[in-house]
């Protein structure tokens, strides 16, 4: 009995110390994590509404429901709207940022977070490679200093550009649940935003 009590106390003490360390690390890094998320959101807004220079958050119940996208901070030229969406994929929740013009045409979609199966559902965020294997090998041994290209837009997200929310966007064969979930969430949220604005 004494032996098992000693094991219980030892394990309890280890758990308390580890929990304290984890919470300490969380509190030390929380501000950096929030700062990084804010930076990523700003970049996503610029990607999905590239002509906009100012984004006005529309808040309801202390929560941002969407952004109005203006050409500049004087708020005279409304270009469209940007909004976050969440879709249930096959194995995870897919978070995305989408932009649309005032008439309901999608201007861009960017995947913010997803944990789908590689080679299947994760195809929603794949970028097509434009460089051949031979070109990549030559670049490694070349004396010329080449700077890496910026990441291209995922090919599936490019399908949204210029489409009206009423138009049909093709899901990916073999990744139907993930891709159709993203399509449905973008179209549903876009209709909600246009409803707010009318």
pLDDT at 146: 55
Residue 149's beta-bridge partner residues? none
What is the tens place of the pLDDT at every residue in 103-121? 999 999 999 988 887 877 7
Helices and strands counted in the chain (H then E): 4, 5
Has residue 145 got a pLDDT over 60?
no
Across all residues in the chain, what is the average pLDDT?
87
Q: How confident is the model at residue 143 (pLDDT cuts 50, 70, 90)?
A: low
**Domain definitions of the chain by residue range:** 35-197
Instruction: Give percent of the chain above pLDDT 70.
Output: 93
82 closest CA partner among 60, 50, 114, 126: 50
What is the tens place of the pLDDT at every residue in 85-97? 999 988 889 999 9
Give 198: exposed, middle or buried? Use CB within 10 Å, 0-12, 13-18, 19+: exposed
Instruction: Report DSSP state, residue 103.
Output: T
**Cα dihedral 47, 53, 54, 58 sign:** negative
Has residue 77 got a pLDDT over 80?
yes
What is the value of pTM for the model shown? 0.73
Instruction: Report DSSP state, residue 172.
Output: P
Average pLDDT over residues 127-150: 67
CB atoms within 10 A of CB 172: 20
Distance CA 42, CA 85 (A): 15
State how beta strands 54-60 and 63-70 pair: antiparallel
Distance CA 118, CA 109 (A): 20
Distance CA 98, CA 44 (A): 8
pLDDT at 148: 47
Residue 145: both structure tokens together: 């200093």
Average pLDDT over residues 28-43: 88
pLDDT at 150: 45
Residue 43: both structure tokens together: 């970049």
């Amino acid at each position: 009995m004494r032996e098992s009590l000693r094991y219980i106390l030892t394990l309890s003490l280890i758990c308390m110390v580890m929990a304290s360390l984890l919470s300490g690390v969380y509190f030390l890094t929380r501000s950096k994590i929030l700062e990084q998320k804010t930076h990523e959101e700003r970049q996503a807004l610029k990607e999905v509404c590239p002509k906009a220079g100012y984004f006005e958050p529309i808040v309801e119940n202390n929560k941002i429901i969407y952004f109005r996208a203006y050409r500049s901070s004087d708020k005279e030229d409304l270009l469209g709207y940007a909004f976050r969406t969440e879709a249930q994929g096959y194995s995870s929740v897919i978070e995305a940022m989408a932009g649309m013009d005032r008439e309901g045409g999608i201007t861009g979609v960017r995947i913010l977070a997803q944990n789908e199966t590689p080679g299947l559902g994760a195809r929603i965020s794949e970028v097509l490679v434009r460089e051949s294997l031979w070109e990549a090998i030559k670049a490694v041994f070349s004396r010329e200093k080449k700077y890496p290209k910026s990441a291209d837009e995922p090919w599936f997200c490019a399908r949204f550009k210029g489409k009206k929310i009423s138009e049909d966007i093709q899901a990916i064969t073999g990744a139907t649940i993930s891709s159709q979930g993203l399509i449905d969430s973008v179209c549903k949220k876009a209709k909600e935003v246009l409803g707010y604005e009318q």
